[in-house]
Amino acid sequence: MLQERIADLSKYVEPDRVRREVYVDPGIFELEMQRIHERYWIYCGHESQVPKPGDYYTVQIGRQPMLMVRGKDRKVHVLYNRCPHRGNMMCGDRNGNTGEFFRCSYHAWTFHHDGRLRTIPMMESGYSGTRFGPDNPDCSMKKAARVESYRGFVFASLAEDGPTLLEFLGEAKIAFDDMCDRAPEGEVEIVPNCFRVIQRSNWKIFLENQLDALHPSVTHQSTGRAAHEVEKEIAKKAKKGEAPLSYHMLSAFATVTIDKWDAFQTLNYPYGHCILTGYMGLRPQDPDTLAYDKVMIKAYGKKRFEEIVGVNIHHVLIYPGLSVQSPLQQLRAVRPLGVDRTLTEIWHFRLKGAPEPIYRRSLAYYNLVNSPSTLVNADDLENFWKCQQGLKSEGGDWVTFGRHFGRDSEKAGVVETGPNMGTSEAPMRNQMKAWAEYMGNGR
């Protein structure tokens, strides 16, 4: 039955609309896991999450429980979190240090950090003359087919073939360059731990929302207005007539109106990656910013410094599972759990060598805008759940992405929205175009 639907898959996506089944059909979800998440490059984590040999972090890739581990050779390995003996999960905790080697809790088989079998209790007496033992690769923990990292960000692909990580990222690698270049030392380190949110909606709904510049001034209007009222009150009483910057982070949702969002631009790339350009107002002339500028100029020189802080990015979406806000050193990793269940991990990074107040400022944004406790996140979650409910219904067959359709321009494979069309639905069209290609290629 599933095979029959596979043959029809191309009919689910048109350039400006998509059938609702792609969000609600469990059979399509299974195919997505096989053909997209378990084939292409998925973000595992940052190297600084596992600084010492034996440090590990578990991570879900498609339907596969995996773990990222630092070896004694300093290399980061990505393995299936499964013992080859009888299938026991190797690490039950989310993260930790496994010591000199992995030791299965069931019958004590042990493994090197790269997954190779190390010992089996009484191996000689128990296994001599059998096909099991160190020479049989099936007795080692299975590795991800490919692991690569870019500027400390580790990705794995569960397929032997396909583009390299850099070929896959293409222009979207700017997410990591922009984040790291803003550090005086040229790299970032993880802020432990992340926020985790389970959304009662399909994974694609989250991704489509990330570059949806039309929604903030509608969805988050009530949050923005409330913050703006308080901001004005504080400003009235404050000596210098200004409220702390953190109020601005929320009030912007009310004061940045749709026409201002339209001044931004979207850039849409192969593999479904997209960028929303737009200045985030992160260069006020307060003493903290000036102190940071000074450290940066010392590290890079004036010219390079201006280039770095002048990068005009609001958001980078790396399909199919990563949304990066590089100027604020945060990212959200998407882990689909089921057709209507999605985990997002919300991570924050520290700019190495930057003064503490700069970290505090981005931390405030992390808590106020991206954390599960903020009204902003709650606004979005409510929409996501309601979309999923509506899509399950028979009230319509299509989801439409027609805003500014037909007005994009294409140069060398990059689709750009025209002037004053920042609220275009071009990023959603691009994601679904890539989706159809991924799903078709897996046939």
* Interface segment toward ligand FES; rule CB under 6 A; list 30-38, 103-111, 208-216, 267-275: 103-111
Select the residue interacting with ligand FES from 34, 48, 88, 255 (CB under 6 A).
88
Q: With CB cut-offs between 5 and 8 Å by kind, which of ligand FES, Fe ion, none does residue 107 bind?
A: ligand FES
The least distance separating ligand FES from the CB of residue 90, rounded to whole angstroms, comes to 8
Please state the φ and ψ torsions of residue 67, each to the nearest 5 degrees. -140, 145
Choice between 2 and 108, CB closer to ligand FES:
108
Q: Which one of residues 8, 72, 100, 106 is an interface residue with ligand FES (CB under 6 A)?
A: 106
- Among 50-58, 105-113, 256-264, 304-312, the segment contacting ligand FES (CB under 6 A): 105-113
Given ligand FES, Fe ion, none, residue 319, with its beta carbon under 5 to 8 Å by kind, binds none
Segment near ligand FES (CB under 6 A); pick from 85-93, 150-158, 353-361, 433-441: 85-93
Residue 380 binding partner per list ligand FES, Fe ion, none, with a CB distance cut-off of 5 to 8 Å that depends on partner kind: Fe ion
CB 371 within 8 A of CB 381: no
Under the binding rule (CB under 6 A), the answer on residue 104 touching ligand FES is: yes
Contacted entry of Fe ion, ligand FES, none for residue 85, CB cut-off 5 to 8 Å set by kind:
ligand FES
Q: Is the CB of 123 or the CB of 234 nearer to ligand FES?
A: 123
Note whether 256 and 217 are within 8 A (CB). yes
The dihedral over CA atoms of 208, 213, 215, 219, expressed in degrees to the nearest 10, equals 110
Tell me if 404 sits within 8 A of 425, measured CB to CB. yes
Among 74, 75, 86, 392, binds ligand FES (CB under 6 A): 86
Cα 40 vs. chain centroid, distance in angstroms? Answer: 14
Judged by CB under 6 A, the residue of 72, 74, 94, 107 near ligand FES is 107
Site residue total, Fe ion (CB under 5 A): 1
Quick one: 394 exposed, middle or buried, by C-beta within 10 A (0-12, 13-18, 19+)? exposed
- How many amino acids of this chain bind ligand FES (CB under 6 A)? 8
Closest approach of ligand FES to the CB of residue 88, in Å: 4
Q: Which does 407 bind (CB under 5 to 8 A by kind): Fe ion, ligand FES, none?
A: none
Instruction: Tell me the residue nearest to Fe ion as measured from the CB.
Output: 380
First-residue to last-residue Cα distance in the chain: 15
- Is 380 among the residues that bind Fe ion (CB under 5 A)? yes
Nearer to ligand FES, 117 or 432 (CB): 117
Q: Find which of ligand FES, Fe ion, none residue 106 binds, CB within 5 to 8 Å per kind.
A: ligand FES
Q: State both tokens at 296.
A: 């940066």
Question: According to CB under 6 A, which one of 29, 41, 109, 401 is a site residue for ligand FES?
Answer: 109
Residue 99 C-beta: closest distance to ligand FES, Å: 16
Residues that bind ligand FES (CB under 6 A): 83, 85-86, 88, 104, 106-107, 109
Residues that bind Fe ion (CB under 5 A): 380
